[in-house]
Amino acid sequence: MKYFEPSISSLRLVAMIMQQGKLTSAAYELHMSQSAASHALKSLESQLGSQLFRRERDGLRLTEAGQRLCPLIEAALSSLDRIGAEAAGLPTLEAGSLRIAAVASLLGTILPSILREYANRYPGVELSIFEGTDDEVHAWIRSGVAHIGFAALPVDGVESEEIARDEWLALVPEKAYPGKASMTLLELARRKFLMSGGGCERHILRMFASTGLALTQPMMVKQMPTIHAMVAEELGVSLIPRLSFAGGWACRALPLKPRRFRHIGMIRSTSYAPTHAAEAWLSLVRARVRRANTLLPRRQPLVSP
């Protein structure tokens, strides 16, 4: 089967035959003549290269091929019905849903104002927020749990577009390294290193590896407040994104020398099916990026991690 583009009416006819058990009854329910229904069914079966129903004394029954293909036909019709329901709320987006997934550092900084603007513009859209690590965000996007995600790039197996760049900072005890205005990766590698277990570790390890450095038995710490507390107690040093730096701890956050940045992306599944609610969100974020060039200020040219 090289080319397959069935008519929607033929797919609805198959679903109705499954309900009614007879071609004549299905045709009546769909306001089709029996000859038109018979022709539509034969045309669909010809495109499929398989017979969907076999005729028995009391009506039509699914063939083995029909048992395999009809659930897919029902799923396709269900998707079409969702498109119709989504369109019913246009052009004011009076209905629909939008599921956003993001890492904590973005949900606590740059995303809330965008979420507020979106909610004000489209109050009829049901917003759901999923907060997790980079890996969790990736999984939610790939599985379809969330429509749009925000996480550090690069990400394999999804569509992505960069929306912001966030500087990496060395987190050191407040009284350590007096007078220093920046840190090198080599200086950090020589100290006990506290590794973020919340999703940054892959990016940090790649950063060190790019300069030929390796961290010796870093201590894994999952929560960012825990990293701040442990650094404040001089139990080690760490490397964190600027958006994750929290005041109120006996710590200093110093830029790296040379400075390095993480690339923040807006990601979608490769099988992303546009909805009006999701497209409106994409347009809003892109407009924000265009107005500011990026959602975060670029302090100087990037050094790729």
Strand 148-152 versus strand 261-269 pairing type: antiparallel
Q: Is 61 helix (H, G, I), strand (E, B) or coil?
A: strand
Q: What percent of the chain has pLDDT over 70?
A: 90
Looking at the predicted structure, is the pLDDT value of residue 234 above 60?
Answer: yes
Whether 303 shows a pLDDT value over 50: the answer reads: no
Least confident interval from 71-80, 149-158, 232-241, 250-259: 71-80
Q: In angstroms, rounded to a whole number, what is the distance separating the alpha carbons of residues 293 and 132?
A: 27
- High-pLDDT (> 90) share of the chain, %: 48
- Structure confidence by residue, pLDDT tens digits, 99-152: 999 998 899 888 999 999 999 999 989 999 999 888 899 999 988 889 999 999
Tokens read off for 114: 């965008």
The C-alpha atoms of residue 296 and residue 73 are separated, in whole angstroms, by 46
Residues 267-300 have pLDDT tens digits of: 999 888 888 889 999 999 998 887 765 565 443 3
**What pLDDT does 130 receive?**
94
Cα separation, 111 vs 105, in Å, equals: 9
Residue 18: pLDDT over 70: yes
Rounded distance, CA 20 to CA 102, Å? 46
Closest CA relative to residue 237, chosen from 303, 274, 186: 186
pTM (two decimals): 0.62
- Please give the pLDDT value at position 300: 34
Per-residue pLDDT at 71 exceeds 70? yes
The pLDDT tens digits of the residues spanning 197-209 come to 777 888 899 999 9
pLDDT digits (tens, 9 = 90+) for 164-175: 889 999 999 998
C-alpha separations of 184 from 112, 116, 178, 188, 191 in Å:
33, 39, 15, 7, 12
Q: Could you tell me the pLDDT band of residue 254, with boundaries at 50, 70 and 90?
A: very high
State the pLDDT at residue 169: 95
Express each pLDDT in 174-195 by its tens digit.
988 888 999 999 999 999 999 9
Query: What pLDDT does 301 receive?
Result: 32
Long-range CB pairs of 49-58 (<8 Å, 24+ gap) are: 49/1, 52/14, 53/17, 58/21
pLDDT of residue 220: 92
Determine the average pLDDT of the residues in 44-71.
90
